[in-house]
Structure formats: structure tokens, C-alpha cells
Structure 1
Amino acid sequence: MFDDKVCIITGAANGIGRNIAKSFHKEGAVIAFIDTDLDNGQKLLSDINGEETKHFFFHGNVGKEEELKSFINEVIKRYGKVDYLVNNACYSNKGLLTCCSYEEFNDVLRVGVTAPYYLTMLLKDHFNEGASIVNISSTRAKMSQRDTESYSAAKGGISALTHAMAMSLAGSARVNSISPGWIDTTNAENFSESDKLQHPSQRVGNPEDIARVVLFLCDPKSDFINGENITVDGGMSKKMIYHDDEGWRCTSR
């Protein structure tokens, strides 16, 4: 189904992005990815290339306009057209309680919101028929812990960007987003029973949970799903929580 389809992924050297890249690779896709992590980016490229040379890693920062331009120019030079864009890259500079600065806050927005917009603009004339864009948002777009303003703002922004771009790209590319909850990207095995059982699905999520939904949204058979967000959080954001209900307690900060 994905044989020789060209898939661009941002932030693919580690975590969820790495698993998305490997999942597309298993399905026969060509992978082009950008990341600031040179060592792990090169390792991923080696892992998926094997004896092939068809995949492409660009060492760069999606928060910088010129590096995005250079990346996409090279992608178009190599492949001509693109089938899938997965906007995964983002990070946190925390927020109000740790005095995230003006520049620090805006840098998160450049990586998490501006880059997906700008990549899409650079690619909008180079999408193959049936193209699909998947933005990785977060449940933090609609719910928060303290001191998370920079990341929450970026995820709220990409959620809104998703339905806006879906309208602008009608007939050219579908645009959807995924909102992960707690996803373990470290292969940890020391979760407490409470960590797991607080989720209605009774486990912590893993990157494969997100990769499967990315592939589902890019499947041509999913072509009536557009401008939508799919939450993948084991049911946590649907769980109503009150003090002294089902063992939940609120204590003084």
C-alpha cells in the first residue's frame, strides 16, 4: 500500500518520530526526515537504508527558515513529488513558573507551529494525488499541568492549524492530527500499577500506538477523514476526576 510512497517526517531521530519512520519503512515507503540529533539521525538512516540509499536524512532545525528551505529543495530534487508529511517535531521550554523568556517561548512555536505551516506551503505544489498530512498534536492542547505554557500553546496551535489547512488544501491533500496522551518513548519497564491502571486501557502508551494511527490516516481508504483529530491516550482525557472519587485525592500544593 505504501510501496515507494515518499514520506517526510520531522523530528524522526528519536521517540515517536523514529517509530513512525520505521513503520513507514516496513510498509515500503521512502523516508526523508529532518532532525537536530545528528548521531541518532544517522543511526536511523543506517537502520532503514541497509544496503539501499533511497532514504534521506537532513541534519537541521525545523525552527529555522533557511534550513527548512534547504531540506525541501533537496527532497524535491531527489524525489520530485511527496505523498505524506508528518509534522512531529516539537519540544517544551516550560512556562510561567520557570519564567520561559520571550525568545524561548517563540522558539517552541517556531518548531511546533510555524514549521508545519511553512513546510506545507513549500510542498503544496509538490503533493502527489491522494497526499496526506498528519500533525502530531497532544492532549495538552486541551488540558494541562502547571508550567507547560510553551508546549501547550504549540499543541493548541497545531490543532487549529490542522483544520485550517484541511480547508485550504481541499482537493490537494488531506490534513489530520493525532493527540497522544502519555506515551513512553524510553522503553521503561518500571511503571507502577497505578501508572497503568489509572488509564481506562490499563497501560501506558507506546510509540507504536501513534505510528499505527499515522499509517491509518495516510491509508487511501481513509480518504473521508479530513480536518479531524484522533486522541490516543488510553481514555485518560475522558475520565472524570473528583476528590475522593475512586481513590483520587487532591492535596495541598
Structure 2
Amino acid sequence: MSEQGNPSPPVQADGATSTRPVIQVALHKVPLLSGLDPKVLAEVAAALHIRTVTKGQYVLHKGTMGDCLLFLLSGRLQAIDVTEEGREIGLSIITPGEYFGELSMIDDLPRSASVMASESSLVALLPKAQAQALIYNNPLVAERLLKRMAASIRRAADYRTILGIPNAFQRVFALIHRFAEKGHGDMITIDRMPTQQEIAIMANTSRETVSRALQLLIQKGIVEKDMRRLIIRQPEKLRKAANGDQALAV
């Protein structure tokens, strides 16, 4: 796998057994693998290579051949693409428990996007042969992967619509509206709010513009910051802002 700079060494040498029970417990929490036969999970755990990546380090590079399926065990990553002008565009945020790099496991083509660490992260790599065996020999895994692909296609279409919005503030509002989820009770929140830089990359704008857009939402009482969580106090007004309400568009 291609990485930017000198790749960090594995947390423990391949084949070592003392970390395998810990890894296997973590795999039970990975949605793609939950509910699988313990023997299958043990085989996956035994084949994994564990790497640490630091903030700003690339985990994958677009255009390189895919030799593994990857799982994020801890930390935070961002999938990005680069325009012909060299500008980074964020595609998605990857959080613990998620997997990535699956397309190359299926079509044997180069990576379709780059992935960079937004913070220090722990990544598990499953070699291609074992990844393909996992997918093709376990119908539940294949079904989950297909559903994930369908959801990704729908999100990509939605994201293209957002990028087509000419107003930068409205693009930021639309992304925040997209991130929001219903939490406890009737509260709508973004529990792990992406950083302003992550949003800027996804909205194809500057971090300063994201900061001003967020401050405007806060001043209007539409959202409220609570550490890394963003609480949506007025969901309908946020929806209108995302749809181009001239009272907020700048």
C-alpha cells in the first residue's frame, strides 16, 4: 500500500498472538463483520496487519493498485480527490468501525480516491486474497457490501448536487444539513462535527468561509456548538438555508 512519507511500522509484528484477542473483540463491533461465525472472525484477525498513521499522512493514494481492504479501528480519516488544478475535494469522512478500499477488492482496478488521516489513527489492513475470500464466501458480508455501495451511490449523487451550488455559504449549510441526524428524543445533532478544514475541503471553499457560515448559523440561533457536537436548534431554518433562503445566503 502506498503511503505518504515513511509508513509507521505495524503496532506488533505480524503473526504475534497477544494482540489477536483484542483485535477480534474489536471486529465484533465492525458492522461489516458483526454476527459472523467466530471462526471466520478469528481467521480475519489472524490475517490483519495493523498500522498507525499520523495526522496529515496518506493511507491510500488514488491511482495506486489496491492490495488490501482496510478497517478504521480508531481515529478519523477523510477520503479526498484532487481536481486538475490541484485543489483537494473531500468526498467523505471515515469514522471508527468503517471499512474502505473495497472497490479494488472487487474489480481489481486502481484506487478511486485518496484517504488521509485527519488525526492520529489506527488502521487494520486485510490482504486482498483474504478480503476476497471474506466477501465471496460469506453471503452476509456480500449483502452488506452491496447495500453500502448502493448508499454510497446515492450519497455521491447528493454530494454532486451540493457541489453544484454556486454560493459557498449555501454549500456549507447544505453539508451541515446532510450531516445532521436525529439523536436522543427529538434532538437533532451532529455528534462528531467535522473540523472546519474537513468541511472546507468537502464544500470546495476556504476554512475562513466555513467559519463565517457557522458563526452566522450560531448568531441566528439555528445551531449551537457543544464541544465537538453541533446541536440543530431550528432544523426547518437550516433546511431553508441549505435550499437557498436569501435571509442567510451571502
More strand by share: 2
Which has more radius of gyration?
2
